[in-house]
A and B are shown apart, each in its own frame.
Chain A
Amino acid sequence: MTSVIVWTIVILSCLGLILAIILFLVAKKFKVEEDPRIDEIEKALPGANCGGCGYAGCRAFASSAVAAPNLDAHFCPVGGNEVMKKVAAVLGIEIAEKAPQIAVLRCNGSCTNRPRTNVYDGLQSCRVKAQLYSGDTLCPYGCLGCGDCVAACQFGAISMNPETLLPEIDETKCTACGACVRACPRKLLELRAKGPRGMREYVACSNRDKGPDARKACKASCIGCGMCFKTCTHGAIVLENNLAYIDFSKCKLCRECEAVCPTGAIHGVNFPKELDKAAVKERIAKRKEAEK
Chain B
Amino acid sequence: MSKITFSRGGVHPHDNKLARECRIEVLPLPPVMYVSMAQHLGAPAKPIVAPGDFVKAGQVIAEPGGFISAFVHSPVSGTVKSVAPRKDLAGNPVMHVEIAVEGDVWMDGIDLSDTLVTALPEDRDAVLAKIKECGIVGLGGATFPTHVKLAPPPGKTAECLIINGTECEPFLTSDYRIMVERPREILVGAAIMQNVLGGCRCVIGIEENKPEAIAIMKKAIKELGYEKRMKVAVLKKRYPQGGEKQLIDAVMRRQVRSGGLPIDVGAVVQNAGTALAVYEAVQKNKPLVTNVLTVTGKSLPESRQHNYLFRIGMPLSYIIEQAGGAPEGAVKLVSGGPMMGKAVSNPDAATVKGSSSLLYLDAADTMRKSASSCIRCGRCADACPMGLEPFLLNRLAKVSDMDGLEANAVQDCIECGCCLYSCPANIPLLDNIRVAKGQVLGIIRARAAAKKQ
Complex alpha-carbon distance, A127 and B398, angstroms:
12
Known: A133-B90, A134-B90, A209-B93. A118 touches B345 (CB 8 A): yes
A82 to chain B minimum Cβ distance, whole angstroms, is 32
Interface pair A123/B90, CB less than 8 Å apart:
no
Which chain A residues lie closer than 8 Å to B367 at the CB level?
A: 121
Asked whether A263 is an interface residue with its Cβ less than 8 Å from the other chain, the reply is no
Known: A121-B367, A132-B342, A134-B345. A140 touches B92 (CB 8 A): yes
Complex alpha-carbon distance, A123 and B430, angstroms:
10
Asked whether A162 is an interface residue with its Cβ less than 8 Å from the other chain, the reply is no
B343 partner, pick from A132, A135, A209, beta carbons under 8 A: A132
Interface pair B431/A123, CB less than 8 Å apart:
yes
Complex alpha-carbon distance, A215 and B90, angstroms:
19
Interface pair A123/B345, CB less than 8 Å apart:
no
Known: A118-B345, A121-B367, A132-B343. A140 touches B87 (CB 8 A): yes
Complex alpha-carbon distance, A44 and B343, angstroms:
52
Asked whether A270 is an interface residue with its Cβ less than 8 Å from the other chain, the reply is no
Known: A118-B345, A121-B368, A122-B368. A134 touches B431 (CB 8 A): no
B380-404 interface bits toward A, Cβ cutoff 8 Å, 1 = contact, 0 = none: 0000000000000000000000000
Asked whether A138 is an interface residue with its Cβ less than 8 Å from the other chain, the reply is yes
B residues contacting the other copy or chain, number (CB 8 A) = 19
Interface-facing stretch out of B178-186, B229-237, B432-440: B432-440
Which chain A residues lie closer than 8 Å to B366 at the CB level?
A: 121
Asked whether B428 is an interface residue with its Cβ less than 8 Å from the other chain, the reply is yes
B356-390 interface bits toward A, Cβ cutoff 8 Å, 1 = contact, 0 = none: 00000000001110000000000000000000000
Which chain A residues lie closer than 8 Å to B342 at the CB level?
A: 132-133
Asked whether A128 is an interface residue with its Cβ less than 8 Å from the other chain, the reply is yes
**Could you say which of B92, B342, B368 has the most chain A C-beta atoms within 10 Å of its C-beta?**
B92
Interface pair A127/B91, CB less than 8 Å apart:
no
Which chain B residues lie closer than 8 Å to A125 at the CB level?
A: 431, 435
Complex alpha-carbon distance, A133 and B343, angstroms:
8
**Could you say which of A117, A122, A132, A138 has the most chain B C-beta atoms within 10 Å of its C-beta?**
A132
B345 partner, pick from A121, A127, A131, A133, beta carbons under 8 A: A133
In residues 287-327 of chain B, which contact A (Cβ within 8 Å)? none
Which chain B residues lie closer than 8 Å to A118 at the CB level?
A: 345
Which chain A residues lie closer than 8 Å to B91 at the CB level?
A: 133-135, 138, 140
**Could you say which of B342, B345, B346, B366 has the most chain A C-beta atoms within 10 Å of its C-beta?**
B345
Majority secondary structure, B binding face: mixed
Known: A118-B345, A121-B368, A122-B368. A132 touches B432 (CB 8 A): no
CB closest residue in chain A, given B344: A133
Known: A121-B368, A123-B428, A125-B431. A131 touches B438 (CB 8 A): yes
Known: A118-B345, A121-B368, A140-B92. A131 touches B435 (CB 8 A): yes
B421 to chain A minimum Cβ distance, whole angstroms, is 15
CB closest residue in chain B, given A133: B90
In residues 423-453 of chain B, which contact A (Cβ within 8 Å)? 428, 431-432, 434-435, 438
Complex alpha-carbon distance, A132 and B368, angstroms:
16
In residues 103-159 of chain A, which contact B (Cβ within 8 Å)? 117-118, 121-123, 125, 127-128, 131-136, 138, 140
Which chain B residues lie closer than 8 Å to A122 at the CB level?
A: 368, 428, 431
A134 partner, pick from B85, B87, B434, beta carbons under 8 A: B87
Complex alpha-carbon distance, A122 and B343, angstroms:
11
Interface pair A128/B435, CB less than 8 Å apart:
yes
Which chain B residues lie closer than 8 Å to A123 at the CB level?
A: 428, 431-432
A173 to chain B minimum Cβ distance, whole angstroms, is 24
CB closest residue in chain B, given A209: B93
A13 to chain B minimum Cβ distance, whole angstroms, is 48
Interface pair A127/B435, CB less than 8 Å apart:
yes
CB closest residue in chain B, given A129: B431
In residues 119-151 of chain B, which contact A (Cβ within 8 Å)? none
Interface pair A134/B428, CB less than 8 Å apart:
no
Complex alpha-carbon distance, A133 and B93, angstroms:
11
CB closest residue in chain A, given B427: A123
Interface pair A132/B428, CB less than 8 Å apart:
no
Which chain B residues lie closer than 8 Å to A117 at the CB level?
A: 345
CB closest residue in chain A, given B367: A121
CB closest residue in chain A, given B88: A134
Known: A121-B367, A121-B368, A140-B87. A134 touches B432 (CB 8 A): no
13 contacting pairs across A/B (C-beta < 8 A): A117-B345, A118-B345, A125-B431, A125-B435, A127-B435, A128-B428, A131-B435, A133-B92, A133-B343, A134-B87, A134-B345, A138-B91, A140-B92
Residues of A within 8 A of B (CB): 117-118, 121-123, 125, 127-128, 131-136, 138, 140, 209
Residues of B within 8 A of A (CB): 85, 87, 90-93, 342-343, 345-346, 366-368, 428, 431-432, 434-435, 438
Q: List 15 additional contacts besides A128-B434, A140-B92, A209-B93; criterion CB under 8 Å.
A: A118-B345, A121-B368, A122-B368, A123-B428, A125-B435, A128-B431, A128-B435, A131-B434, A133-B90, A133-B345, A134-B90, A135-B91, A136-B345, A138-B87, A140-B87
